Structure 1
Amino acid sequence: MISKKMTKQLNEQLNKEFYSAYIYLSMSAYCNRNDFPGAANWFLLQYEEEQDHATRIYNYLIGQDAKVVLQEVAKPPKNFGSLLETYEESLAHEQDMTKNLNELSDYALKEKDHATYNLLQWFVNEQVEEEATVSEIISKLKMVGGDGYGLLMIDSELGKRATIDSDISQ
């Protein structure tokens, strides 16, 4: 059984994961409006992945017989600037999520809550991948600058991203 304070913090992280999904859905809509269907697809799949992350925390809380408290999800921005600026916003968001998850992981260790710490290590490792992927996209976007053909090529590449089956029961 996890402590009330850890339960509260996991519920807060659950809300942050839902916000992550929400911001990526907003980015997808923005990219669709701005004729970047590949990036829209990429962000839509990122939205689905973030929902899976929220479900993973939800299932963990349920499995620990902890109280799930759903909170209001903040309204995401609806305009992001250029495609490069959109991905830079994504990276800043992922870096903030990494910070939050590292702090939560540190707290789990402090409480000697090894089960929660183990859950959080999955998220910590996932964040390494998230930041690296977005950083790579940003590098490519910087490389092509405002070149329309280069942006078209990158958007086409982003559109090839496919869903990955995940086991959210863990």
Structure 2
Amino acid sequence: MVFNRPRTTHGMRLSPRLKKMLNDQIGMELYAANYYLSMASWCEATGYEGSAKQLYMQADEERAHMMKIVQHLNEIGAGAVIPSVVKPPGTFKSLEAVFKLALKNEQAVTVAFDKMTDAAQKAKDHATFAFLQWFVSEQIEEEKKMETILQKFDLLGRDKIAVYEVDKIIGAMEPEPAAAA
């Protein structure tokens, strides 16, 4: 029996740099999933049911992103590496602070995907470049969602009633179509 045999020849052509970047991204997506899970748990315990619902969905989405990369690496025979992750914070200053941190996280993820896309282009790795395009588009939606949520605080305010209304709006938000892909 042969193990680690590539299912395609692409795994043999994947540059060591891109393979490392993709495996690093697995860790980044796993951390994001855990971070959103921690945020959701805090929101739920604090009484922000709408935000908890949205952040639980976001945690699932980040896990799905991680799985997409894991399966891609395994399908091409490059081998996914699943890292351990650092424990995310468990408490947050405010609901607005949660979404500021979420936006900051999404911006860091965008930078990582941009770097991978640049590396794939430079290496003329068309298959990896094509694979990454879905994530590039997804990140536009992810950042837009967090920015839209943060705008609600500016529009409605930060007093208790305004934050309650913001939480209701967040809970009513529908998942993006890209999340279903």
Provide TM-score, normalisation by structure 2.
Answer: 0.86
Q: For the residues of structure 1 that align with 2:97 and 2:109, how far apart are their CA atoms?
A: 18
Tell me by how many angstroms 1:154 deviates: 1.8
Q: Which position in structure 1 is the counterpart of 2:115?
A: 103
RMSD: 1.5
Contact 1:26 1:76 in 2 (8 A): yes
Q: Which amino acid aligns with 1:100?
A: A
1:45-90 superposed Cα distances (whole Å, 9 cap, x missing partner): 0001101101110111111111111111121111221111111111
Tell me by how many angstroms 1:151 deviates: 1.8
Higher relative contact order (CA 8 A, sep 6+): 1
1:68-121 superposed Cα distances (whole Å, 9 cap, x missing partner): 111111211112211111111110111111111101110111111111111111
Q: Could you tell me which of 101, 123, 131 is aligned with 1:89?
A: 101
Q: Which position in structure 2 is the counterpart of 1:146?
A: 158
Asked if residue 80 in structure 1 is aligned to residue 92 in structure 2, the reply is yes
Tell me by how many angstroms 1:162 deviates: 4.9
Q: For the residues of structure 1 that align with 2:161 and 2:104, how far apart are their CA atoms?
A: 27
Identity %, equivalent residues: 35
Q: For the residues of structure 1 that align with 2:21 and 2:161, how far apart are their CA atoms?
A: 46
Q: For the residues of structure 2 that align with 1:103 and 1:141, how far apart are their CA atoms?
A: 32
Pairing of 1:52-67 with structure 2 (within 5 A): 52-67=64-79
Q: For the residues of structure 2 that align with 1:74 and 1:105, how far apart are their CA atoms?
A: 26
Contact 1:31 1:37 in 2 (8 A): yes
1:122-157 superposed Cα distances (whole Å, 9 cap, x missing partner): 111111111111101101012222232222222112
Q: Which amino acid aligns with 2:132?
A: L
Q: Which position in structure 1 is the counterpart of 2:131?
A: 119
Tell me by how many angstroms 1:44 deviates: 0.4
Q: Could you tell me which of 11, 23, 26 is aligned with 2:35?
A: 23
Asked if residue 36 in structure 1 is aligned to residue 48 in structure 2, the reply is yes
Q: For the residues of structure 1 that align with 2:138 and 2:35, how far apart are their CA atoms?
A: 18
Structure 2 residue runs without a partner (length 5+): 1-9
Q: Which position in structure 1 is the counterpart of 2:7?
A: none
Runs in 1 of length 4+ with deviation above 6 angstroms? none
Structure 1 residue runs without a partner (length 5+): none
Q: For the residues of structure 2 that align with 1:27 and 1:142, how far apart are their CA atoms?
A: 21
Aligned residue-pair number: 167
Q: Which position in structure 2 is the counterpart of 1:10?
A: 22
Provide TM-score, normalisation by structure 1.
Answer: 0.92
Q: Which amino acid aligns with 1:93?
A: N
Q: Which of the two has higher C-alpha Rg?
A: 2
